[in-house]
Homo-oligomer: A and B are copies of this chain.
Amino acid sequence: MTPTTPTLLVLDADPPPRLGRLTGRARIVHTDAAGLAGRLPAADVLLVWDFTSHAVREAWPGGGPRPRWVHTASAGVDHLMCPELAASDTVVTNARGIFDQPIAEYVAALVLAVAKDLPRTLEHQRERVWRHRETRRVAGTRACVVGSGPIGRAIARTLRALDVTTALVGRVPRTGVHGPGDLDRLISRADWVIAAAPLTEQTYGMFDARRFGVMQPSAVFVNVGRGQLVDEEALAGALAGRWIAGAALDVFAAEPLPAGSPLWDLPGLIVSPHMSGDTVGWRDELGAQFVELYERWAAGRPLVNVVDKQRGYVPGH
């Protein structure tokens, strides 16, 4: 290790795999949220491994030098962005690519499970009740996927592979992607409305009472983006009032979802613990992805997965 070896500060709950590969090329310092503010000034690079933490957003505005590069082991950057970071020269990168296929499969699992009434089948099994029902055919139904980044596009690809007619909605209309102006029309016809957008000022609370009111009574809403995309009280009302047929949430405004939340036993709602993208080996993949980015950075080559800090995501094609 030379005097010029960069300092890599790692904000982690449990230590990331694969960083051993950087031995001799980075001075690795681990910190928890409490230690973050004191260690930021001496760091060249910050790896936000604990992507559930809001510590960066809280510590960043303090005084002193700041890392030149921040990487988060997550697709969303909402948990770390603050005006001071956005206005700085610091480059922010994310884990773009790692979660696309797993989340797409997770959405397909939810769509098919609801169509085939699997939750009720499992209930009946528990009660040793044999009750034949007719279920829904997925082929030929319509989905609207909100979020046109790699995750949204992977979801669309997977649903189309199941012969679901799928529309994608993004911030800006382009080939194969509808703009926000088409959103209400598309969700009013959709059997499946899938939220996979980044959390930004534009998307905060976008699934509100009005939007649930626009959906069909047979529609099912799925959120694998961020909890704050949804007005959870409005969703509860929409389910209770049968404005929509069902919902599945993998993300919540407060995580872990408090044991006292009414969402746990809302009829027609499937609750899962923010796991849609996390298939076996995901931590290794995230670690390897960071190592690759670090090698680029250390060699002075341009980083990839660079977040547009104003928009809050990596601009796509």
A contact residues, total (Cβ < 8 Å): 50
Bound state CA distance, A271 and B132, in angstroms?
12
- Report if A317 contacts B (CB, 8 A): no
A128 located at the interface, meaning its Cβ lies under 8 Å from any Cβ of chain B in the complex? yes
Q: A233 at interface (Cβ–Cβ under 8 A)?
A: no
Given the contacts A121-B270, A122-B270, A135 and B275 also touching, CB distance less than 8 Å: yes
Question: Which chain A residues numbered 229 to 275 have a C-beta less than 8 Å away from chain B?
Answer: 255-257, 259, 261, 264-265, 270-275
Q: Are A130 and B162 in contact (CB under 8 A)?
A: no
CB < 8 Å neighbour of A138 from B105, B124, B137, B271: B105
Residue of B nearest to A114 (CB): B109
Residue interface mask A277-310, B partner, CB < 8 A = 1: 0111110000000000000000000000000000
Q: Is the CB of B271 within 8 A of A139?
A: no
* Copies per complex of this chain: 2
Q: Which residue of B lies closest to A278 (CB)?
A: B134
Q: Is A133 an interface residue (CB 8 A)?
A: yes
With contacts A105-B112, A121-B272, A130-B257 known, what are 15 further pairs, Cβ within 8 A?
Answer: A101-B139, A102-B135, A105-B137, A105-B139, A108-B112, A109-B115, A112-B113, A124-B273, A125-B264, A125-B270, A128-B264, A130-B273, A132-B278, A134-B275, A135-B278
The chain A residues found within 8 Å of chain B, CB to CB, are 101-102, 105-106, 108-110, 112-113, 115-116, 118-119, 121-122, 124-126, 128, 130-139, 158, 161-162, 255-257, 259, 261, 264-265, 270-275, 278-282
